[in-house]
Amino acid sequence: MIPVQGVENQTIAVLGLGRSGSATAAALKAGGADVVVWDDGQEARQQAEADGMILADLTRDGGWHGVTALITSPGIPHLYPKPHPAIAEAYNRGIPVDNDIGLFFRSYATADWDRFDTMPRVICVTGSNGKSTTTALIHHILEHSGRPTQMGGNIGRGVLSLEPAQDAEVVVLELSSYQTDLARALTPDVAVLTNLSPDHLDRHAGIGGYFAAKRRLFSEGGPDRAIVGVDEIEGRYLADQLAQGPADDRVIRVSVSQKLQDFGWSVFARKGFLAEWRKGRQVASVDLRDIAGLPGAHNHQNACAAWAACRSVGLAPREIEAAFHSFAGLPHRSQTIAEINGVRWVNDSKATNTDAAEKALQAFDKIRWIAGGLGKDGGIAALVPHMGRVVKAYLIGHSARDFALEIAQTPHEISETMEAAVAAAAAEAQPGETVLLAPAAASFDQYPNFEKRGEHFVELVRKLEAGRS
């Protein structure tokens, strides 16, 4: 645990008692604060009381007695579409609102660092797609190279439940727009933007607000190194804003759609080959095509971002390349589950929007595509140009019939359920084909989250594997 600094004898309120909220309450107490907590869910409040926490109803005036700051969980709206009533009340009272990310950056550095030979570093990764894989890949490379490292944030552990820093340690954090939007302190040593596509637009009142939330990671604290995916206009704008000119190697541009040979530092992938260029010359190259844990151009983008981040903290090309080959990938993200009778089964349940599903479809050929769920605004019309890769689609969930209308020229069936889709795909798939779960939709019609959806798919594939072994 990282005790929060500068809160001794203050009364701090914590709103939301999920993973990050509970860790935040404990870290505040460890820092000497008097902590009161609130959650809208009765079950969470009862558990908090059982754990010895003090409840304060922040929906009533009496709950605010003596409170000097409010720390909120990332999933609770603080501005759009409208603030949670407790947060709105804090604004009315002039009480500062922060989150656990802000507290982490206030508290991570301590007097103990004076005895370290090498200062700890913090790498933060944000973006619309690929940030979890990029974060995990950076962490894996650091571990493989023998560097002390921890991973947390939007993946793994809450930031305040991490351990205090070690000499030469590198902490790798995945940060969502919900986290970067509110944090009052954001001072990473290395900041990464993978890419940007429309998402969470209701929470940020449109694409401009969404990009502004991501941009705060770079503008608030001024990282020593900024790694920016420049395949979208927002990334090119951000890189231009941060750099003093094309030769400024404090900004590392990353791409999978263009060569970037005219900048001070760049990393790009073309036709499966990663290249690092510095000051007009190539300094490293890696063949990514046969790395099982990084299939497709979208994972090549993740590899470029991770390469740049690890080079920024002093790792050698040979160390990074060796670690690439042992990276197994993350569950539910282009995760190869099995090969059964020459058919590859891939779980990309995390592909909850068309942008992510497009990247998954581009990673494979001869696809039997399992898609559907709770569709998002705009449907899947954007995926029609990629239907040439699809042998047949098996559509499930609430939006199955809507999806069928949008891909009418592609062979498809309305399977309704995951069980039916997997059974039909297994019966029809031929050697050399890939059965791909890439739903292009939210899971909430049939599953509580994308993880449960992916786990169900994996369970069904494992049963197939057992039955044919």
Catalytic positions are 131, 154, 200
Cis, bond preceding 295 (omega within 30 deg of 0): no
CA atoms within 13 A on the CB side of 87: 22
Contact by Cβ (8 Å): 253, 228:
yes
State the Cα–Cα distance between residues 450 and 456, nearest whole angstrom.
10
State the Cα–Cα distance between residues 83 and 203, nearest whole angstrom.
10
> Is there a binding annotation on residue 131?
yes
Contact by Cβ (8 Å): 228, 238:
yes
Q: How far is CA 20 from CA 12, 14, 15, 155, in A?
A: 15, 10, 10, 11
> Is there a binding annotation on residue 463?
no
The residue whose two tokens read 């008692």 is: 17
Contact by Cβ (8 Å): 415, 422:
no
If residue 6 lies in a helix (H) or strand (E), which one and from where to where?
none
> Is there a binding annotation on residue 180?
no
Q: How far is CA 153 from CA 74, 121, 159, 372, in A?
A: 11, 15, 5, 29
If residue 83 lies in a helix (H) or strand (E), which one and from where to where?
none
User: 218, 190, 219: which is closest to 124 by C-alpha?
Assistant: 190
> Is there a binding annotation on residue 132?
yes
Contact by Cβ (8 Å): 215, 236:
no
> Is there a binding annotation on residue 130?
yes
For residue 86, give the 3-state DSSP assignment: helix
Annotated binding-site residue numbers for ATP: 127-133
Annotated binding-site residue numbers: 127-133
